[in-house]
Amino acid sequence: MSYHRRKFIRDISSSVLGMGLVNPVMSFPYETFSMEEHQETAPVLYFDAFTEIGPRRVSHSRQQTSLLELLAEMNQCSISGALVASTMSVSYDAHFSNLRLSEWLKPYSNLYAIWNILPSITGEFPDVQKLGKLIQEHGIKAVAIHPTSNAWDWQGDYCRELFEWLSDRQMLTIIPSFTELGGWREVDVFLNKYPRLPVFLRNISWAAQRYLIPLIKQHANLHICFDTFQINEGPEYFYQEGLTDQVLFASNAPTMSAGAHRTMIDYAQVPRDARAKMAGGNIIRLLRDIPPPVLSENKSSDSLMHAASMGMPQPVDVIDMHMHILHEGLQGAGRHYRMQNGGPSGVFSLVEKLGYSGGGFMSWDGVVSQDAASGNETTRLALDAAPPGYWGLGTFDPTQFSQEEMSEMIHKVYSDQRFIGMKPYPLYGVEFHDPSYDIWWEYGQKNNLYGLLHNARSDLKETDVLAGKYPNVRWVIAHAANSFPMAEKAIELMQKHSNVYAEITYTTVPLGAIEYLVEEAGADRVLYGSDLPMRDPRPQLGWVIYTRLTQAVKENILATNALEVLKPCMSRLPERNRPVLK
């Protein structure tokens, strides 16, 4: 006997909702540090364990790739030294390009070349005897390997001599992605095969925690960074697990902002000596015998950058327009997602230290796990636990409920006036301008709500159609700074529709993308969002803080523009749920 899908979802949601905010796994409490203890003395020294210059495939005209752009970013973000790779060492002859990179870096005593190395068996690359002399001559302290990209088999017997030679010399070996070795199983094999070789594995997705965490606990020679591994409470977790010595600071500048990545460490709630190790101490130790870098300080830093560098709450208002929430006590969110302390107590404790004034959040189970009814209840219960300044976004899935059921749910959810936002999701499988959503959008139009759209289409047609059809709704494009092409499409729509805004959060926001949005669409149309706790909010805050924009424009992005989005529906919000302005 078949069981109607809508009835099944309604019944199972009701049973789950009756459980409230379950707490099957209590979060492990970290040591806590007061702001005075965190500040202690001067900012720590930053040494970037991976930067990369050179042309990219399918690049955008605004993409920053040059040595001069790298130097400018290091100065902007007070980075004292860096390892520098060249894309040409992978995309052209490695030996030729390695030597040319070293020539380029000669004038800069705080920059060290990363050489891409290959086995010598094909006659393209020096053997270990000649390589050793060249490495000594050019002062090379770190190398990289690209077995997949450069098409060689690292497991071949002919490679053992090279890796043993590197191991004997404790030469830091950078692996730019786990896929260069094949997969995560092969990473484990490599680390077991060469346990004396210091390995730095980067470009790890935040979604790979269940692969990475066991490996870093098992292999003391494995080192990581937070460039794309922007996991919630990452520095605190690795400190608590006794893994501080295996964490490096690396930014991938000038592709990405060095400031965003230092913000992750500057705000880390760990002792200063642990932050100093992560910021530069660990990589300087691994590089062996380099002269102590001179502490770099940008004398033109504004008050936002200064506060961040000291790990102090932001002195201006910060309103986060893109937040999620888990049930209290949860660390996992299904599929490949793990979110350390992703429930209300963890989330609100962290953002308080950043100086948040408020923000809008939605559930994870209702949005990404596609249980809309459960998710709205998750959000309601989290609002009960939230400090002042926070409001909710509702979500409704037209594939799971009839139009009559959706109408009833919409009126019920928004009868709680703490809900003023609308958050559909692509995983529901229906484009947002489909007529099955109209009943929701019409309610939003009548009640001046706003919508946060993670568009399913790269052409952003959904936002284009909805912005024209429902002018009373402010439509916020989520992740609008995730690439220059995405920014271009968002700019096009913001120039066309006055009720469209761009929200910036993403793991790999390109350096200059936020400035591009501001320049082309206006300083009053760009919003701060973090996507926490899927991503840690600190790098997302850093994307904005370390832009080359004026402080006044940064303040617009961090809060003023959000208040404009909220203004038409602010009167709905209870006083307690309105942003608490400084």
Tokens in use for 208? 């790979």
Q: How far apart are CA 124 and CA 89, in angstroms?
A: 13
| Phi, psi angles (nearest 5°) of residue 238 | -70, -35
Beta-bridge mates of residue 362: 324
Please give the pLDDT value at position 40: 53
Residue with tokens 């429930």: 343
Please give the pLDDT value at position 292: 84
Q: How far apart are CA 303 and CA 360, in angstroms?
A: 25
Residue with tokens 């870093």: 216
Residue with tokens 């307690």: 576
Please give the pLDDT value at position 289: 84
Distances (CA, A) of 244 to 207, 277, 394, 428: 21, 7, 39, 40
Q: Which amino acid is at 293?
A: P
Does residue 484 contact residue 62 with C-beta atoms inside 8 Å? yes
Q: For the chain, list the domains and their CATH numbers.
A: 44-290 (3.20.20.140), 318-577 (3.20.20.140)
Show pLDDT as tens, one digit a residue, over the chain (582 residues): 333 333 333 343 433 333 333 333 333 344 555 555 555 557 899 999 999 999 998 779 999 999 999 999 999 999 999 999 999 999 999 999 999 999 999 999 999 999 999 999 999 999 999 999 999 999 999 999 999 999 999 999 999 999 999 999 999 999 999 999 999 999 999 999 999 999 999 999 999 999 999 999 999 999 999 999 999 999 999 999 999 999 999 999 999 999 999 999 999 999 999 999 999 999 999 999 898 899 999 999 999 999 999 999 999 999 999 999 999 999 999 889 999 999 999 999 999 999 999 999 999 998 999 999 999 999 999 999 999 999 999 999 999 999 999 999 999 999 999 999 999 999 899 999 999 999 999 999 999 999 999 998 999 999 999 999 999 999 999 999 999 999 999 999 999 999 999 999 999 999 999 999 999 999 999 999 999 999 999 999 999 999 999 999 999 999 999 999 999 999 999 999 999 999
Beta strands in 395-498 (DSSP E): 419-422, 450-453, 474-477
Q: Which amino acid is at 275?
A: R
Does residue 313 contact residue 206 with C-beta atoms inside 8 Å? no
Please give the pLDDT value at position 34: 52
Is the CA virtual torsion 363, 369, 370, 371 positive or negative?
negative
Cα atoms in the 13 Å half-sphere on the side-chain side of 512: 16
Rounded to the nearest 10°, the torsion over CA 35, 40, 43, 49 is -90
Q: Cα 160 vs. chain centroid, distance in angstroms?
A: 36
- The pTM of this model reads 0.92
